[in-house]
Amino acid sequence: MSHLETLPKHFMEKVARYGDRKVAVRQKDLGIWQEFTWADSYTQVRNFTLGLVALGLEKGDKVSIVGDNDRQYMWADLAIMAAGGVTVGIFTDASPSEMEFVIKHSESKFALAKDQEQCDKHLEIKENIPQVEKVIYWEPRGMWYYDDPWLMSYAEVLDLGKKLHEERPQLFEDLVSSGTGEDLANLCYTSGTTGVPKGVMLTHDIFLSAVESFHLLEPRLDTDNIISFTPLAWIAEHTLAVTPHVMYGMIVNFPESPETVRENIREIAPEFLFYPSRLWENLTAIIQVRITDSTWINRLLYDIFLPIGYKVADLRYEKKSINIGYKILNALGDFLVFRPLRDQLGLTHIRTAITAGASLSPDMLRFFRAMGINLKQVYSSTETAAAGTQHDDEDVKFVSVGKPLPNIKFNISEEGEILIGGKNVFVGYYKNDEETAKSLSIDEHGLRWFHTGDAGYIDDDGHLIYLDRVKDMITLASGEKYSPQFLEGRLKFSPYIQHAMAIGAEDKEYVTTLINIDYDNVGRWAEKKGISYTTFTDLSQKSEVYQVIQEDVERVNSSLPSGARIRKFVLMHKEFDADEAEMTRTRKLRRGLLNERYQEIIEAMYNGQDEIRVSAEVKYRDGRTSTVDTTVHIANLEMEDLPA
C-alpha cells in the first residue's frame, strides 16, 4: 500500500498511524457524544466488508444506501469500496418510485436502508427490484417483528464478516490492496433538474484529485472537526467530509438527528462548515429574526456596528488599507455583537466556511463577512466531484464564485458556456452514452472537460463570474438580457422570502416573479403587527404582507438596469413542493414544470389583471390531497416610482 490510490488505502494508512490514540468519529446518541477511534472504525469497516463478501458482493457490484447521516452509513460506504464495490446514494426523502428508478438503473445487488421507514419503501417496490438480494438495516427499532428473509440487520452482516475474518485473516487487506485508482467508487445520481437523474461515474482517482485541490488552497488538518449533516447521497458530503476524513484525518461528527443539527453544531463548534446556499439563506433569516426579537440595546448595537462590519469587509474586498479607527470599532463590534452571535450559532472556531449549490447572493456574502465569518463561494457540480472554484482569503469578489482551484482548468466556449477540465472530472454517465457525448470531451492531451451548461465569463483578475444556465439566460423583447438566478438570489436575501422564480421571455417586455413567502418568519412578523391569519394561503394574500415584500423587491430593482427590473409579482398561495415535483430533492426549482403549472398566473401578470382566481391540488406527505381555491393578487410596480 505504498501508493495510496484509493479511499480504503488512505483509510488503512490512517488506522496504522492513529490506531486507538485518536478519535476518528463522533456521534451523539441519547444526549451523549459517543467517540470512536480509528481502530474502532477499522474493526467495523473490516467486518462489514467481509460480511458483504460472504453474502456474495464482488468487484464492480453496486450497493445502494439510503438513510440519515450516521457512522454506520460512512463505515458501510468505506466497506463497499474496500470490497471493490460501488456505492449508490439515495436521498432519504425519496419516494418509493424515485428509489426504484435509482436501484434498477444502477443494478444494485444489495441495498442498505437505515430504519423501518426506509425498509418499508423497499418492501413496497420489492417485486420491481428482483436483482436486490438483501436489504440491510442498521437501526433495529421497529424491525423486531419483521420476518421477511429479504431483510437483514447490520449486526448480522458484521457477524458474518467476523467469522470470515477468523477463517481468512488476510482477506480484508488483500481486497484493499487489489484496488486501483481507476476503479469506480461511486455512482452519484444528479438531481434531475433537466430530466431523469443521471448516474455520474466517479473513480477513486477523481475523489482524491478533487480533495487534493481543496487541500492545496486551504489545508485540511487532522485536528479539524466537521459536522456531517448534508445528505450523504449528495456529492458534496463525499468530497468535503468522507474523503478528507480518510486522506487527512479530519474528525467526522454525526448529529443525533436531523432536527438537532444546529444544536449539535454549537456543541462541537467545528473548524470546517459546509452549508448549501439555501441553509446560509435560512441562517440569515434566523439572525435577522433574533435581532428583531432581542432587546432594544442589542438592536441598537447591531444597527451601529453592522455598517462598520460592511465597511471593513468592503475595504478588504477592494484590497484597501483599513485605518486604525475602523479596526478598533470593528473589534469592539465583534466583541459586543458578532462574537456572541457566532457563539449562538456554533461558529466560534470556524476557519473554513463554504457555500455551494445555487449561487449565493453577493449581499449574503457581504453580510457574513461583516459578521466575521469568512464565507467562501464554491462553484462546482456532481460531474466534477464538487471541485471547481473557491474564493481565496486574500482575493474575494462578492459578485464572483472565485478562481479555479489548484490543478483545475476553466475555459469559456464561443457560446459563453463554462467548461471545467481536470483529473476531477467524471468519466461518463452510467448507461447513457448519448448524454455523456454531450457533456464530456477529451482534449489532445487526454484531459477530460465537462461542459457545464452554465453561462459565465472569466474577468481580468481570473475570477469566474457565474450568470445562469445557458438555456435560462433570457433576452426580453426590449433586447435587455437578465439572469433569473441572479434576481432570485438577491430576493432571497429577504428574511420574508423563501423561494422566488423570475419570469421573462423574448416576447415579453418586462420581468415578473412568482414568490413564496417564508411562512415562519412572515407569521412572526404578522403576529407582532397584530395581523390575524389562518393558513399559509390566507397570510400570503394579506395586503400588509404584499407591502413588506414589495419593499424587498424594490431594493433589488434599485441595483438593476431599468429594462431588467421586476415589474410585477405575485405571492403564491402555496409553497413550491418537492413531493409535487416542483423542486428537486436538493431544493432547486423545476422551472419548466412551474412555468406550465402556473401558466394562468403568469399570463395574468402580462395581461393587465390585478388578480386571478386559482384552484390547485395540494398533496400532503401522508398521501392525502386537498384543493386550494383562492384569489391571488398581482402587485404592479410602476417603474417611475422605483428608487433611482
pLDDT of residue 192: 64
Burial class (CB in 10 A: 0-12, 13-18, 19+), 145: exposed
Question: Nine-digit cell at 588?
Answer: 432547486
Question: Nine-digit cell at 436?
Answer: 455523456
CA separation for the pair 61, 87 (Å, rounded)? 9
At 189, the amino acid letter reads Y
Q: Which residues of the chain register pLDDT less than 70? A: 1-2, 192-195, 357-359, 361, 393-394, 398-399, 559-561, 586, 616-625, 638-644
Comparing C-alpha atoms, which of 59, 128, 142 is closest to residue 97? 128
Question: Nine-digit cell at 525?
Answer: 412578523
Residues 443-450: contacts with CB under 8 Å, at least 24 apart = 447/409, 447/421, 447/422, 448/421, 448/422, 448/423, 449/411, 449/419, 449/420, 449/421, 449/425, 450/381, 450/383, 450/384, 450/419, 450/420, 450/421, 450/425, 450/426
Instruction: Give the sign of the dihedral formed by CA 92, CA 97, CA 102, CA 108.
Output: positive
7-213 sits in which CATH class?
A: alpha beta
Q: Which residues pair with 188 in a beta bridge?
A: 200
Instruction: Give the sign of the dihedral formed by CA 7, CA 9, CA 10, CA 15.
Output: positive
**Residue 196 backbone dihedrals phi, psi, to 5 degrees:** -70, 150
* 3-class DSSP state of 352: strand
At which residue does the C-alpha cell 458534496 appear? 236
Is residue 604 within 8 A of residue 598, CB to CB? The reply is no
CA separation for the pair 340, 274 (Å, rounded)? 21
Is residue 488 within 8 A of residue 501, CB to CB? The reply is yes
Distance, CA of 77 to chain centre: 19
* H or E stretch covering 85: none
Q: Which residues 6+ apart lie within 8 Å of 65 measured at CB?
A: 73, 76, 77, 87, 88, 89, 90, 111, 112, 232, 233
Is residue 352 within 8 A of residue 290, CB to CB? The reply is no
CATH topology of domain 473-641: GMP Synthetase; Chain A, domain 3 (3.30.300)
- String of DSSP letters for 474-511: EE-TTS-EE-HHHHHHHHTTSTTEEEEEEE--TT-SSE
CA separation for the pair 636, 550 (Å, rounded)? 9
pLDDT of residue 643: 38
pLDDT of residue 618: 59
Quote the longest CA-to-CA distance of the chain.
82
Q: What residues does each domain of the chain span? A: 7-213, 473-641
CA separation for the pair 190, 382 (Å, rounded)? 7
Beginning with the edge strand found earlier in the chain, give each strand of the sheet holding 497-503 in spatial order: 497-503, 511-517, 566-571, 625-636, 611-619
**What pTM value is reported for the model?**
0.76
Is residue 378 within 8 A of residue 355, CB to CB? The reply is yes
- String of DSSP letters for 542-567: -HHHHHHHHHHHHHHHTTS-GGGSEE
pLDDT of residue 620: 53
CA distances from 551 to 52, 491, 515, 638, 641 (A): 58, 11, 13, 13, 12
pLDDT digits (tens, 9 = 90+) for 88-134: 999 998 899 999 999 999 999 999 999 999 999 999 999 999 999 99
Instruction: Give the sign of the dihedral formed by CA 112, CA 115, CA 118, CA 120.
Output: positive
Is residue 185 within 8 A of residue 202, CB to CB? The reply is yes
Comparing C-alpha atoms, which of 78, 82, 150, 86 is closest to residue 113? 150
pLDDT of residue 186: 96
b vs e for 333-357, b when ≥16 Cβ sit within 10 Å of the residue's Cβ? bbeebbbebbeebbbeebebbbbbb
Question: Nine-digit cell at 578?
Answer: 418537492
Distance, CA of 474 to chain centre: 26
CA separation for the pair 237, 470 (Å, rounded)? 27
CA separation for the pair 93, 351 (Å, rounded)? 32
At 170, the amino acid letter reads Q
At 248, the amino acid letter reads Y
